[in-house]
Amino acid sequence: MQLDVLTLFPEWFEWFRTQRHVRNAIEQGHEIRTFDPRATTPLTGGQVDDTPFGGGAGMVLRVDVIDQAIGEIYGKDSLEIRKDRRILALTPGGRMLDDRFVDELAAEPGGLTLLCGRYEGFDERIVQRIATDAVSVGRYVLAGGELAAMVVMDAVIRKLPGSLGHEASAVEESFSTALGGDPEYPHYTRPAEYRGWEIPQVLLSGNHAEIATWRRARSRERGVVGPTAHPPDPAGETAAGPDPFGPIGGGGGAPSGPDPFAG
Ligand code: ADE
């Protein structure tokens, strides 16, 4: 997949390109290219932005500058380009990024172009006429679209074959279809007991069917509880107090009774 970023800060992406999974993706033939609209601006002095009509604070990225940049990168009019590839304008009010949206973008055959706003953002005609999608990484305002572009690319790259060491790791992960859209189940590693904090005994049982049932139930439970800063700890007590679900499958406590999500 070709991932092209239009940004006034191309150097931000140098670090991103050196990260292991990104490097793997590049070695597999995927591309990450950056373009600075200052290099192609039709205005003098490298101008790319202007004051908003109607007044107000800040500067707005100009539509003619972005149109020209896209035309020069692809050698075609931007209205033609948007038929062939997704052009994403990163903006806090856009469509919220989630696993389904990431799957959709990762399956895009024509590649992605990410437009990073700065200052007060874009002239709205960039979003309406040039971009195919407005994308938000959350309802808060970043200083610019660069970090948001990296979030989108990171999430997309993880879905591309060969970028993660272990192929299954992007399949059965939080919010994936494999988990019915629920958050991922909790993981534990050695030591099995630390400061009296035991892990759920079922994970030591070697019974793969039981482990799978337990994991699905924990994942479902997290989906039902909904977003929480401190998910229930199935092994026992959390720092926030006793676990409302009680210890599961041992851990020194009393059995919690039948699991409403099991089976
Ligand atoms: N640009 C600034 N804030 C943003 C956000 N929350 N999501 C996407 N792009 C942005």
**Other C-beta atoms lying within 10 Å of the C-beta of residue 1:** 22
Work out which ligand 1 atom sits closest to the CA atom of 117.
Answer: 1
How high is the pLDDT of residue 251? 39
Work out which ligand 1 atom sits closest to the CA atom of 135.
Answer: 8
Pocket test for ligand 1, best of 8, 9, 91, 97 (most atoms within 8 A of CB): 91
Instruction: Compute mean pLDDT per 10 residues along the chain, 263 residues long, and list them.
Output: 98 97 95 98 97 94 98 98 97 96 96 91 97 97 97 96 67 78 93 97 97 95 79 63 44 40 41
How high is the pLDDT of residue 224? 82
How high is the pLDDT of residue 228? 73
Distance in angstroms (rounded) separating the CA atoms of residues 55 and 120: 12
How high is the pLDDT of residue 168? 55
CB–CB of 225/232 below 8 Å?
Answer: yes
What's the gap in Å between 140 CA and the centre of ligand 1? 7
Residues with CB under 6 A from ligand 1: 90-92, 117, 136-138, 140-142, 145, 148
How high is the pLDDT of residue 237? 54
Sheet strands (E) in 69-222? 86-96, 112-116, 133-136, 193-194, 197-198
What's the gap in Å between 258 CA and the centre of ligand 1? 44
What does pTM read for this prediction? 0.84
